[in-house]
Chain A
Amino acid sequence: MATTSASTSPQTAPERTRLIRAGLRRRHRSETIFRGLGMAAIVLALGFVVLLFVDVIRKGVPAFVQSNLHLEVFFDPAVIKVDPAPQTGDFASPAEFQAASLAWQRDVALLNWNRIIEASLRAKLPANTQIDTRELLTIPETNARHQVRELFVANPALLGQTVPVDVLASANAANWIKGNIDRSLGDAQQQMSPAARAVIDAFETSGTVSNGFAWSLFTNADSRAAPAAAGLLGAFIGSLYMMLIVIVLAVPIGVAAAIYLEEFAPKSRLTDFIEVNINNLAAVPSIVFGLLGAAAFINYLHLPISAPLVGGLVLTLMTLPTIIIATRGALLGVSPALRQAALGMGASKTQMVFHHVLPVTLPSILTATILGVAHALGETAPLLLIGMKAFVAQVPVTPLDQATALPVQIYLWQGNENRNFFEPRTAAAIMVLLGVMILLNGTAIFLRSRLEKRV
């Protein structure tokens, strides 16, 4: 190197080497700095993600544990004073039987089931324990009586029998058992009375109370009367319906629109105008879609409020531009040779698109769809505006029933007044939502790699 440039440069060879070395050092330094900054950016971003995950998981883990009370429930005939359940054979028509059965169920519901619960709790108390009824009944969750009543309604022959039943401990009792509330606080600051706390501790020693996996989180709908039994099932089903509606509506409409615009529509001012608008729509804040949905679907079309149907339609509108843009991008990326070959072989334009172009773009369209749906799944703002932030205690049966969605459930639990109990529940709901998201995104990556290999 030094010999070839020696004749053209006035500098001496060592001088030149030094300059080149210095230049090299400078370039290496700037590269190192850039790499360092890049690394720092990644570390910082990952750090935030880890911080978020650690915080959510640390808070959420206790919610996956529920405290169960193992009771021996005696269906005391002295308390359960109702007529025998109506039998199908006694009535002339099914309608009459239905009416009689409903009336009987209401009679059963109006019985004082708390007395049954109280008796079964008292049977488990250590000898010589003094506790009044009201304090004792703060230990089981309030849905215990419904649970026992439903057992009886399902099987009236239980009258006079003793059956082992597991009921949930109340939210405040669970806080005490799991240590969600500071045990060292004074009586005035505790939620449970000293007598009730002593009973819980005795139950723990005797094994009447034990902790188990919180299935209720996944098998129950939301509950406020029995906070310990509040679960995510209702919100999950609501979200599921909305996702189905988004997939069924947004994918065909979006893909068809993209194919038409890209392959068939003449390039004119009108199509340019449409393209600009679609790109703009993709950037519109989701809350605007919520306002639009409230005005169009609820006020004008009179669709039911709080229904996943309306939520699904709003989210479809929100997802459409994303799918159209992604599909158009994928179509653009297909090699012209493929199209020309197809047309050259005598295929019609429709055949060219559906037999040759579309299959090649399928992985991209699929990925865009799944990412769009995952985005829609986590969307909350538009749902708040169409009444989906209501408290719904039933699992929706159809998309027309009132429901909430997973992100809205997080919002609702975040606002619950029993902070000690619902802070972990909120974090647990976040974990479930993140889990579903990871599953969806993972599926997208998996499908993409599979399909790309095939094509």
Chain B
Amino acid sequence: MKTALLTSAAAIALIAGSTAAFAQSRDTIQIAGSSTVLPFASIVAEEFGAVFPEFNTPVVGSGGTGGGLAQFCEGTGDNTIDIANASRHIRDGEREICTAAGVTDIREIQFGFDGIVFASAASGPDFALTPVQVYKAIAAQVVVDGELVDNPYTNWSEVDASLPDQPIALAVPGSNHGTREVFQERVVGAGCEEAGLPEGLSEDAVEAACTTYRQDVVTEISGDYTETLARLNSDANTVGVFGLSFYEQNTDTLKVATVNGVVPSKQSVATGEYPVSRPLFFYVKGQHIGVIPGIEDYVAFFLSEAISGEGGTLEAAGLIPQPADKTAEVLAAFEAGPTQ
């Protein structure tokens, strides 16, 4: 018994000692953020690990764009992440938090595009949506006869006769997701503008009218797209907001809606014909370059033609590549160093 006690005491001391000794060394790139970027970043991380035997395979976490940037802006050092994946630009507020925590060298990498699609159960009716219809369906207050009133619509067919006679139910990404911002800006915001609010509203009132959703028909999903999919499976009337790449992996259960008459596809997003798309980014902590091995190589590898270019690995996984000269420009800006 005595020896057992001694051994365990020694083991505790050993663990305590080793934690102190190893606390200051990390040689694996740590990434977190957007769940839209996650599949792409994970694939690049794995390929990177395979091609560069001298570096460890980077570790990729999710948490949404907001969550990833919050972690990114916690500060510098071993216990903070090196790269934040984002499906939108970093906000000024986030930059301020970053700066306050000492993260001053933030390098933005844009690597491609993703479409945002509306999809519903494959067994259900077809949807052909326009931004203004989506706005009318989900805004808390809409314009009826020139006045703002509480949203009276219960079925899509009441919003527009061309839409199916089906109760309105929409699952949208929660505010921790970058997708939400694009959805708000490109769909609801655009629809709100088109719908034409009554004259004489204050700026705040317009803002509120365009950004407040009805809580009874809109479900905010803070998890991943699979959670949205589960919502669709439990209520066949729900229309979900997904990334194009997620939809393409699940065409057997999902049916995609057209927006302004355009079917979302890699081609229609790349040409800009399909209106709801956004660039994808990741942000690199410049201060970690040279400290955590392999960051520059990871960025160069990510932007290489075989990975994110036309016909590259990521295109097969659903990414919409950006023009090669844009990529070259991004890489040059990264290598040139901090922009501010």
Q: Which residues of A contact B (CB under 8 A)?
A: 102, 105-106, 109-110, 142, 146, 181-182, 185, 188-191, 223-226, 245, 248-249, 251-253, 256, 298-299, 301-306, 309, 354-355, 358, 387, 389-394, 400-402, 414-420
Q: At the interface, is chain A mostly helix, strand, loop or mixed?
A: loop
Given contacts A224-B46, A249-B12, A402-B30, 11 further A-B contacts (CB under 8 A): A224-B43, A252-B12, A256-B5, A299-B79, A393-B57, A401-B56, A415-B224, A416-B226, A417-B245, A417-B249, A419-B253
Q: How far is the CA of A146 from the CA of B11 in the complex (A)?
A: 40
Shortest C-beta distance, A257 to chain B (Å), equals 13
Identify which of B12, B223, B250 contacts A248 (C-beta below 8 A). B12
Asked if A417 and B251 sit within 8 Å, CB to CB, the answer is no
Q: Please, how many angstroms separate the alpha-carbon atoms of A401 and B253 in the complex?
A: 38
Contacts of B46 in A (CB 8 A): 223-226, 393
Q: Known: A252-B9, A306-B30. Is A393-B45 also a contact (CB below 8 A)? A: yes
Residues A146 and B1 in contact, CB atoms below 8 Å apart: no
B258 to chain A, nearest CB (A): 14
The closest CB in chain B to the CB of A181 belongs to B252
> B1–A420 contact, CB under 8 A?
no
Q: CB-defined interface of B7-18 with A at 8 Å, one 1/0 digit per residue?
A: 011011001001
A400 to B25, CA, bound (A): 10
Contact A309 B19 (CB under 8 A): yes
Contacts of A301 in B (CB 8 A): 19, 23
The 24 listed contacts between A and B (C-beta, < 8 Å) are A102-B53, A106-B52, A109-B50, A109-B51, A182-B252, A189-B252, A190-B251, A224-B43, A248-B12, A252-B9, A298-B79, A303-B19, A304-B23, A309-B19, A354-B2, A387-B32, A390-B32, A390-B61, A391-B61, A392-B59, A400-B18, A402-B59, A417-B225, A417-B249
Please state if A390 and B60 are interface contacts (CB–CB under 8 Å): yes
Option from B2, B15, B45, B251 in Cβ contact (under 8 Å) with A391: B45
With CB as the reference atom, state the residue of chain A lying closest to B56: A394
Tell me how far the C-beta of A292 lies from the nearest C-beta in chain B, rounded to whole angstroms. Answer: 16
A306, B60: Cα distance in complex, Å:
10
| Residue B122 lies at the interface, judged by CB distance under 8 Å to chain A | yes
Give which listed residue, B60, B81, B224, B252, contacts A420 with CB less than 8 A. Answer: B252
Whole-angstrom CA separation of A389 from B9 in the bound complex: 31
Which of A105, A299, A304, A400 has the largest count of B CB atoms less than 10 A from its CB?
A304
Closest to A251 in B: B8
Report B3 CB to chain A, min CB distance, Å: 11
CB distance from A232 to the nearest CB of B (A): 16
The verdict on A305 contacting B15 (CB below 8 Å), with A110-B51, A390-B59, A390-B61 known, is: no
B313 CB within 8 Å of chain A: yes
Return chain A residues, CB-CB under 8 Å to B69.
none
For A102, the chain B residues whose CB sits under 8 A away are 53-54
